Structure 1
Amino acid sequence: MKSIFTEEGYQAVQNRINSLTPQTQATWGKMSVAQMMHHCQKPFALMLGKENIKVPFMAKLMSRFYKPLLYNDKLLKQGLPTAKEFVVKDNRDFEKEKQQLLTLVGEVHKLKSQEKFDPHPIFGSFTKEQWGQMQYKHLDHHLRQFGV
């Protein structure tokens, strides 16, 4: 699994994000390309302590079953549920969302030499490798959604 902490993974997602245009259409799902980029900012902002989510008890309970799916080599399935704080329904500005996503991805990539991270509010502790793979995997899922 690629990682946002490697140069290869980081450059790949940067190039893919930069290839998006306001006219890029999803191959599945309901989000526009700008909404998707706003949605994809959330996990990066969460990791950086810039975002927070409320954690329902059942989510905590079920998290141990889903946690390994976040960083293994299998592609994420279409239509998986997301935290309500990560759902984007309003119209978003394409250029603003693109720049913000690139900025957040860059901020997380700069943490590549850091060894310890705060626990995820739902899934708990991850190793550095798992954090990097999880961030790459979620972003890759949505970039594939938009054909890049």
Structure 2
Amino acid sequence: NDRSKTIPVCYHLEPFREGSKRWQEIKTHKRTITDGDIVNFANLTWDHFYAHTDITSLDGSIFEKRTAHGYFILAAAAGLFVYPNKGPVAANYGLAECRFLRPIYHNDTIYVRLTCKQKIDREQRGTELPSGIVKWYGEVFDAEDELVAVVTVLTMVQKKQTVFAEMTSESIAQYLNKLTEKSKPQWGSFTPQHMIEHLEYTYRIASGEIQDFEIATPEKILEKVHSTLYNYKKMPQEYDFPLAEKSEIEKLKHPDLLKAKALMLEARTEYLAYFKENEDARTKNVVFGELNRFEWYLLERKHLNHHFEQFGLL
């Protein structure tokens, strides 16, 4: 859209390329700095330097009028290129090479020109989605196109998730419609109904209905295992679920696959309702420890992709 053309900081990491014409000298919209802006910023920050707050003391100084704080110019500049909606930009990662070249006075107008300076990959860490750092060279100009400030802005930008299919009620129903009693696994010993009953069991754990178990992952590695929920790597194909008894693999709880599917979907509905009513709740998972609503979403996406791929549904 038109706004994204002047606010490039709203994309995932992959498209950014230093030297690409697409990301060079992108101009933002303009903003006029008012007297009230300067006074409010002084009160907010307690920076009451005379050039910002006492216009009777400007004689003999380098300032001609009430002058905007340098850090307010940076903040106002950021407001011109930061996309407000939640998206792939994860955080402001810092500033570098900042210089203020000339004063900005009240009623002056500024705009920013951005150029992608560098893209840096980084390893996924802890409870962060995979991301990298984009360095932007920012130039702040006044209405006469005079350069007033330069700064290098570092933004943490998430990588686009392309490994897993998103799991919605509609897509899950479509995948389940493909699953029949004759479907064969590409790995593992599950039958179609075993797999569906396993998913139902997991949803009942997620909703808090089943919590009478101990976390199987040792405490010393639990944080590391927990953090794997946030990466874009598939689950290993051959994995023994800690709460499953190998001797019970042939025991099915429901009369047929159709009934098992219905109860799995019912358990999923209860899981979604639980976290809708209890947004801050955390429930135990035997492998990953205590999970919040977002982490259960990440696990559901990985888990369903794993088993639907197991039976060739994806």
Q: TM-score range by the shorter chain?
A: 0.7 to 0.9
Three-state SS of the structure 2 residue aligned to 1:36 is helix
User: Gaps (5+ residues) in structure 2?
Assistant: 1-160
Q: 2:270 aligns with which of 98, 107, 115?
A: 107
Q: Which range moves more in the overlay, 44-53 or 84-93?
A: 84-93
Three-state SS of the structure 1 residue aligned to 2:225 is helix
Aligned pairs (5 A) from 1:109-128: 109-111=272-274, 113=276, 114-122=278-286, 123-128=288-293
Give the 3 Å change call, closer, same or farther, for CA 86–141 of structure 1 in structure 2.
farther
Give the 3 Å change call, closer, same or farther, for CA 98–53 of structure 1 in structure 2.
same
User: Gaps (5+ residues) in structure 1?
Assistant: none
TM-score (norm 2): 0.41
Deviation at 1:118, TM superposition (A): 2.5
Residue matched to 1:129:
294
Give the 3 Å change call, closer, same or farther, for CA 86–45 of structure 1 in structure 2.
farther
Residue matched to 1:13:
172
Give the 3 Å change call, closer, same or farther, for CA 72–11 of structure 1 in structure 2.
farther
Give percent identity, aligned residues only. Answer: 21
Q: For residues 10-67 of structure 1, give each alpha carbon's deviation from its aligned partner in whole angstroms, at most 9, with x where no partner exists.
A: 3222221222111111111111000111111122100112223522665444322211
Residue matched to 1:63:
222
Larger C-alpha radius of gyration, 1 or 2?
Answer: 2
Q: Which amino acid aligns with 1:134?
A: L
Q: Which amino acid aligns with 1:80?
A: Y
Q: How many residues align?
A: 144
Deviation at 1:72, TM superposition (A): 2.5
Greater relative CO, 1 or 2 (CA 8 Å, sep 6+):
1
Q: Which has the higher helix share?
A: 1
Q: 1:54 aligns with which of 204, 207, 213?
A: 213
CA contact (8 A) 1:71 1:133 kept: yes
- Mapped partners of 2:216, 2:198: distance in 1: 23
Q: For residues 48-99 of structure 1, give each alpha carbon's deviation from its aligned partner in whole angstroms, at most 9, with x where no partner exists.
A: 1222352266544432221122343211111123113476512433122111
Give the 3 Å change call, closer, same or farther, for CA 120–50 of structure 1 in structure 2.
same
Give the 3 Å change call, closer, same or farther, for CA 125–89 of structure 1 in structure 2.
closer
- Mapped partners of 1:141, 1:116: distance in 2: 27
Q: Which amino acid aligns with 1:103?
A: E
Calculate the aligned-residue CA RMSD, in Å: 2.7
Q: Which range moves more in the overlay, 102-111 or 42-51?
A: 102-111
Q: Which has the higher strand share?
A: 2
